[in-house]
Amino acid sequence: MLRVGQVVPGDYSTAELYARAVDDLAGQSPLRRTGALRTLEMIGNSDPAHRPAIVDLVCAYLRTPYDPAAADERALRYAAQRVLAARLRGDDGWREDPRHWRTGLDLTGATLIDLDLSGCVITGTTRFGGAIFAGSARFPRTVFVGPAHFDGAIFTDHAWFEGTVFHDEARFDAAEFHGDAWFGQATFGGRAGFAAVGFQGHAWFGGVVSRGLAEFSGSAFHRSAGFRGGVFSGGAALLGTTFTGPARVSRRYEDWNLCPVGWQVEVDPNNAAVGRLLPEPSDATVLM
């Protein structure tokens, strides 16, 4: 197993390998940059002490401006994303697993292509603020142990967060979803921030569990919105929210699962257990 100070074939120590990989990743050769990612992953697998710095390096590369015309740039970004995804899987968030890198991510403003972090466990703060998700974004069953920041992010295609667990706050404020947004069965342990969000496609929040305030104020739902089966025990805010398509809710005991003050439910004539959320004629206030 590779350790700090150990000499590897070619008489390179871990420190020397790390330094060479850093230089190669910042260089212009696609082959060397790809090799640098493999070297960094090998070092991190062998020596946990290097993992935070390696994750920071990979994230820093992904935060650099994306030039689709550059040779092999797309393939290199895929490779960098795969390194992160592979090392963030294999843990349940609480038990130590030697295959899993316990770390946060700072991908603020990054351009990410068909990102797939499904089933990952991210133990530190996650920052995707202002990121551009080119293509699909997949986070089903992902566990965010720390705060997750997606504020101002742009999702150019469909986004999957089904069964995702946010133990802390989740901030999607001012994000733009140009495809469908799937949050079915997601769990929000803290504030679920969706204020001033643009949902251009269908938005599905069916079966969610929201223990903090679910903030949708100022958001625009341009197609259907589904909240059936959701539990909003921390309350919900819909001040200035607009629904162009139907916003479906469902019965929860004798009440509706989502019906803040200032809103009313139009009962489905074919199924009294579900209905459509509509604003009351007077100005809506914010809390359930």
pLDDT digits (tens, 9 = 90+) for 60-77: 999 999 998 888 999 999
Predicted confidence at residue 47, as pLDDT, reads 87
Predicted confidence at residue 14, as pLDDT, reads 84
Predicted confidence at residue 11, as pLDDT, reads 43
Q: Tell me if residue 38 falls in helix, strand or coil.
A: helix
Task: Tokens for 48, please give them.
Answer: 């946990």
DSSP 8-state assignment for residue 42: H
Residue 255 has pLDDT above 90, yes or no: yes
Residue 8 has pLDDT above 70, yes or no: no
DSSP 8-state assignment for residue 71: T
Torsion angle (degrees, nearest 10) of CA 179, 225, 234, 175? 30
Sign of the alpha-carbon torsion through 130, 131, 136, 138: negative
Residues 6+ apart with CB under 8 A from 126: 104, 105, 144, 146, 147, 148, 149
Predicted confidence at residue 58, as pLDDT, reads 96
Task: Tokens for 101, please give them.
Answer: 């890198």
* pLDDT tens string 13-72: 888 899 999 999 988 888 899 999 999 999 999 888 899 999 999 999 999 999 988 889
Sign of the alpha-carbon torsion through 34, 40, 45, 51: negative
DSSP 8-state assignment for residue 16: H
Inter-axis angle of helices 73-87 and 51-62, nearest 10: 150
Residue 209 has pLDDT above 80, yes or no: yes
Average pLDDT, the chain: 91
- Let me know if 94 is exposed, middle or buried by CB neighbors in 10 A (0-12, 13-18, 19+): exposed
